[in-house]
Amino acid sequence: MTATANSAHQLVVEGLRAGVTSREVLAGIDLEVRSGEVHAVMGPNGSGKSTLAHVLMGRPGYQVLGGSVTLDGHDLLALPAWQRARLGLFLAPQYPTEIPGVGLQELLAEALAATGQASVAGSGDGSATDRAAAEAVRVGLETKLLDRPVNMDLSGGERKRSETLQLAVLRPHIAILDELDSGLDVDGLRDVAHRVRAGVDEWGLGVLAITHYQRLLSVLRPDVVHVLVGGRIVASGGPDMAEELERTGYAQYITPGDVVADARPVRRPGFTDPI
Amino acid sequence: MTLTAFTADASSALAGPLWLATRRAGAWERFAAGSLPQEAEEVWRYSGIDRFDLSSFGPVQRPDRAPGPDLEVGRALAQPLGSRAALVVTYNGAIVGVESEPSVADDQLSVTSVLSNSDAPAGLGELAPAHDAFGELHDAFLADVVHVVVAKKAVLRDPVIVVHLVDRAAASGSAAAFPRSLVHVGPSAEAGVIELYASVGAPDTTGAADADHRAPPVLVIPVTELEVEDDAHLGYANLQVLDQACTELAVQASRVGRNSTLRSFTVSLGGGYARVRTDSDLIGQGGHTALLAAYLGTDKQVHDFRTLQDHHAPRTESELLFEGAVADEARSVYSGLIHIRNGAHGARAFQTNHNLVLSEGAHADSVPNLDIEENDVRCSHASTVGPIDEDQRYYLESRGISPAVAERLIVLGFFSDLANRAPFPGVGPWVENAVSHRLAGRLPSDRVEPATQDANDG
C-alpha cells in the first residue's frame, strides 16, 4: 500500500453531482488527478469547494446524486471513508477536529497499522514515532505537540502543520487539501507548501489543492488550475491562471443564477442539552 | 419499617467499645422508626429506589476466618496503584489488617481501627450524618472505622491505600457491608488517600465481564468523611469495581479549610445500582476543591451521582467535572447543586457533566442546579448527553482507521482525558486499563458484521 515513485495512481471524477438534503451543490464535476500531478481548485465562496473535498473523502451526510469517483479503478462512492483512506486517499480538512484524549502519535500508529505500513520491519521508514519526529522538524511543528491529543489547544497554524505532518507520515497516493493555507502565517505557509511539494517529488503524491490564494500555489506549482463556480468547473488552465484570478477575481466566470451555496451536512440528532 | 434480617439483636451483637454500641443502638432506633426514601424526593429522582427491597439483604456476622488470604488479595489489588504510605484491608467493613510503610514516621501518620478507642474519634459523623434510613442502617451496623490522621505539617509522599473487600459468601444467601473511613488532615499537612471497593468470592472483581445476575444481592453502604484543615492539601481517589450483584449507596463528605485544597477523583465502574452522594463544604477563605468522577455503565447498570458544592467562605473555588459513558441498557444520573452562601463573596464554582451514550438502549439524565445567595461570584454549569461525536469519528476514519478502532480510541480518549487529571500517578493508568477491559465488545462498531471489516484491521 506504500506508494513508490514508480507506481502511478489515478483519481478519476466523472460527472459528479452531490448535495446535502437533496439540494444539489456539485452539478457535474470532471477531474483526473494522477501521481505526481498538482491540481488547484479555486473559486468564490459557496461554489462547492469544501463539498467536493468531503464528497470525495466520503463524509457522512452528503448525498451523491450522480456520476462516479474511482481511485485506481476502485469505486470510491461505494466505500466508507476509512476504506477510501486505505486505498491511498487523504483529506486535510479546512477545520481539523479536536479529539480529547487521543494522542497524535496514537492516531498515526493506528493509521499506519491500518494501512499495513507499521508492520513493515526494516523498510527504513521507521515507526510512527520516528517518522512523526522527523516530519515535525520538516513542517515546523514543535515536537512536544506530538504528545498532545489530536488538535487539542492547537492554534490554526499548528493544526495545518499537523495535517501536513500526518500527510507526510502516512504517504497517501492522492491528497485533497482543503484550504491548507487558511490559519497559517507566511512562515507556516512556506513550510507546509514545501513539504507537500516535496511529497510530489519524493513519492509521486498527487494533489488536489483547494485554495483562495495564489501564495500556496507559487510553492506547490500546480500543473492545472480549475475554476469552480456554482458546483461546476467552468474553466481549467495552466499555472498562470491562478495569478490571473488573483488579479481579476471570478466575475467573468459568474453568470446570474449560477451560484449555489456550499453546504454542510446537518448534524445527526441525539445531542440534547437539558439546561 | 418492614421486617428484615436487620434486627436490633443483629446490631447489638456487633463487637466494639461502649460508645460504638451506644451509637449503633441510637441509629437502630431511628432506623426502625423511619422509612426508606422514595423516588418522589428530589435527591432520589430517577434513582429507581422505589423498587429497592431491603428484605433481599441481611447483615453479615463477623466471619471466623484467617486474615492472611484477605490481606494477600488486598495487596494484589493495591499493587497497580503504585507506592503507598500504608495499606488497610477491610472485609465486609471489618478491618483485616493495617500495614504501614517503615519509611513513614509514626508521628506523621496514624492509621487505626477504632475498636480499641475508649471514645468516639473526633469528627465521626460530623460531615456525614445519617441523611436517611440508609445512613441510619449504616450507623446501626457499622463494624469499624478506618481512621486516618495526618499530623500537623506532615507531608506524605505516597497515599494511604484502603482496600474494601465485599464478600457475599460470608452470609448465607444475601449480605450487606458498611465500610467507613474517617480522614483528618491536620493544618499545613499534605496527604493522599485511595479507597478501592472490590468484590471477592465473585466470578469477576472488575464488576463486568460476566455479570452473574443470579448471584445473591449484596448491599454496600460506604461512608467516607474527609476533613482538611487550614493550609492543608488532600488528594483522594474512590475506585469502585464491585460486581453487578452489588447495590451501592455511597456517601463522600468533605470539609475544606482556609487556603486548603481537596482534589478528589471518583471512579464508578461496578455495581448493579451504584449511587454516590458527594457533599463538599468549603468553610475557609481561599479553600479549593476539584471534584472529578468517571463512570462507565454496561449491561443494565445504573450509576447515580448527587453532588453538592457548598461555599460558605469568601474566595472559595470549586471545580466539578463528572464524565461517563453508558452502553448496552445502562443508565446514569447526574444531579448536582452549587450553593453559594451569603457571605461567600468572590466565590468561583464550576460544574460540568458530560455523558457519552454508546447504544440505543442506554440513557443518561443530567440535572445541574445553582443556588446563589451572594453577588460578586462566578458560577457556571454545563452538561451534555450524546453519542460519539460524528466529526471526531470521521476525522479518524479519514486516516484509514476502521470504525471499531475509531470508536474505541474516542471513548478511551474521553476517559483518558479525565484520567490524566487523577491526583495520583498510579490512578490514571489504572482507570484507562479498567475502562479498556470493560469496553471490549461493548461499542456499536463491535457489533458490525465481520464481513465488512478489513483484513488488516487488528
Over chain B (458 residues), the average pLDDT of each successive run of 10 is 80 94 97 94 90 86 76 97 97 94 94 96 96 96 97 97 86 80 98 96 47 70 98 98 94 98 98 97 98 96 98 98 96 97 96 96 94 93 94 96 93 94 95 91 62 40
Q: Is the Cβ–Cβ distance between B334 and B366 less than 8 Å?
A: yes
Q: What pLDDT does B453 receive?
A: 40
* Closest chain A residue by Cα to residue B369: A275
CA distances from residue B111 to A17, A120, B151 in whole angstroms, order as listed: 73, 55, 11
Q: What is the tens place of the pLDDT at every residue in A213-240?
A: 888 898 999 999 999 999 999 999 998 8
A40-59 pLDDT, tens digit per residue, is 999 988 899 999 999 999 99
Mean pLDDT score, A16-45: 93
- The answer to whether B399 contacts A107, with C-beta atoms less than 8 Å apart, is yes
Chain A: residue whose CA lies nearest to B360: A270
- What is the pLDDT at residue B4? 80
Q: What is the radius of gyration, based on Cα positions, of chain B?
A: 22
Minimum CA–CA partner of A57 in chain B: B398
Choice among A92-96, A124-128, B10-14, B365-369 with the minimum mean pLDDT: A124-128
Interhelix angle B403-419/B390-397, rounded to 10 degrees, is 120
Closest CA to B322 of B237, B412, B382, B247: B382
**What confidence score (pLDDT) does residue A248 get?**
85
The domains found in chain A, sorted by start residue, are: 10-97+172-253 (3.40.50.300)
Q: Among B382, B403, B418, select the one facing A82 at the smallest CB separation.
A: B403
CA distance A228 to B342: 63
| pLDDT of B447 | 55
ipTM of the complex: 0.91
Determine whether the interchain pair B410/A110 forms a contact, defined as Cβ–Cβ distance below 8 Å.
no
Rounded CA-CA distance A71/A32 in Å is 10
Selecting from B394, B400, B410 the residue whose C-beta is nearest the C-beta of A111 gives B400
Among A91, A110, A120, A153, pick the best mutation site for testing chain B contact (most B Cβ within 10 A). A110
Mean pLDDT, range A152-168, rounded to an integer: 96
Interface-testing mutation among B395, B409, B412, B416, with chain A (most A C-beta atoms within 10 A):
B395
pLDDT number for residue B207: 42
- CA separation for the pair A54, B394 (Å, rounded): 10
